[in-house]
Amino acid sequence: MGTPGLTFQLSHGFEDPQWDDFLAAKTGCLYEQSALWARVKSLQGWRPVRLTIHRGGRVVAGFQVLRRRIAGFGGIGYVSKGPVVEVDHGELVPLVVSRLKETLRRERIHLVIVHPPGDSKTLLRQMERAGFRPDRLVRMIDATLLIDLSQDLEDILRNMKKDKRKAIRQGLRRGIRVRAGNESDIPRFFELMKATCERQGVAPNPSDVRFFQALWRTFSPGGHVRLFMAEHEGACIAGAWGICFGDTFRSWKVGWNGKFGHLKPNQVLRWEMIQWAKEQAYAWFDFFGISASAAASPGAKLSDLDGISKHKLGYGGSVHRFPPAYAYACNPFLRFGYRKLLPKIADTAVGSRLTAKL
């Protein structure tokens, strides 16, 4: 495959400002492809392999694989929201997919899970032609809810469900106040998040407060992270993290101590986050993670949804589905085994351990 005028750069480093700037200029929230994110994920044992494609000194495409080793298996990799291309046509899409497969072989990454960005049907078709197959083992977030921040605040509020508007007014009237958090608030937020996870019967993710501290120190210098704390009479009762990347503000992690629900702290917290994101001229507010199967079904009602999705959809906005995750194994025998055998152990202890690594 000819590549006139193109150059390639392979990196294993935790700093790549040119690549990160390329990602930030794209529509959507692609921070998981950034070198910044790789630096934070290194706390969990992941190491980056990044290939960037340049034309005229400018990045036009590339991908970042986060890799690690599993005892008895070898190297595995994960490509979140990638590969990324400047233009969704021409030679770049087949080229970046071809280079991804070549990089996997060179780096001895036996199995990779790729969760592509949601704006490239051409990329999905090319991946399937190249042997990538929809993955059935790793459970991914399959949809999100976006609010268009080009609207007036009055219109955003009007598009919410009546109960949400009422709750926001009640919370403000009853004294809920939201302030900007700082690094010293992180342990408190982590306790609020753990309390939320305990009520929901799930494990905290991330499970270590040090991850949040590393995220703050890595992302805050560039203005890519924001912590909000909801208080009543000086006591913190809820909090939320926002990831600010490109044209999108993503509501990432939330926590609530489960008390003072009548004061509506979570509703006020969401509303203050939406207002802040609009003031900062972000194009989209991303609620990150709803039940796509229920939300996309004809005639779906809020009462049909899980509690988290129901809560988020009450704020209005539009549902956007993510493409499926794809798997690729370099070794043909492993490729056969993954396709035929691993789906059968997805709900077993073995499958759970492998899924946890990804």
pTM, full prediction: 0.90
Sign of the alpha-carbon dihedral angle for 3, 56, 28, 48? positive
pLDDT for residue 267:
96
Sign of the alpha-carbon dihedral angle for 34, 40, 42, 44? negative
Q: In angstroms, rounded to a whole number, what is the distance separating the alpha carbons of residues 213 and 237?
A: 20
Q: Please indicate whether residue 5 or residue 229 has the higher confidence score (pLDDT).
A: 229
Q: Are 22 and 50 in contact (CB under 8 A)?
A: no
What's 185's DSSP letter? G
* Local structure of 75: helix, strand or coil: strand
Question: Is the per-residue pLDDT at 269 higher than 90?
Answer: yes
Mean pLDDT along residues 154-176: 96
Q: Alpha carbon 311 to chain centroid distance?
A: 19
Q: Please indicate whether residue 357 or residue 97 has the higher confidence score (pLDDT).
A: 97
Question: What share of the chain in percent tops pLDDT 70?
Answer: 87
pLDDT for residue 298:
47
pLDDT for residue 350:
46
Query: How would you classify the pairing of strands 58-70 and 84-85?
Result: antiparallel
196: confidence class by pLDDT, cuts 50, 70, 90: very high
pLDDT for residue 43:
94
Structure tokens at 80: 């979140």
Q: Are 143 and 118 in contact (CB under 8 A)?
A: no
Question: Is the per-residue pLDDT at 70 higher than 70?
Answer: yes
171: confidence class by pLDDT, cuts 50, 70, 90: very high
pLDDT, mean over the chain = 89
Element (H, E) at 324: none
pLDDT for residue 12:
97
Give all domains of the chain, ordered by start, each with its CATH number.
6-140+323-357 (3.40.630.30), 143-321 (3.40.630.30)
Helices (H), the chain: 17-24, 35-41, 92-106, 121-129, 153-158, 162-173, 186-200, 209-219, 265-279, 292-295, 307-313, 332-340, 349-357
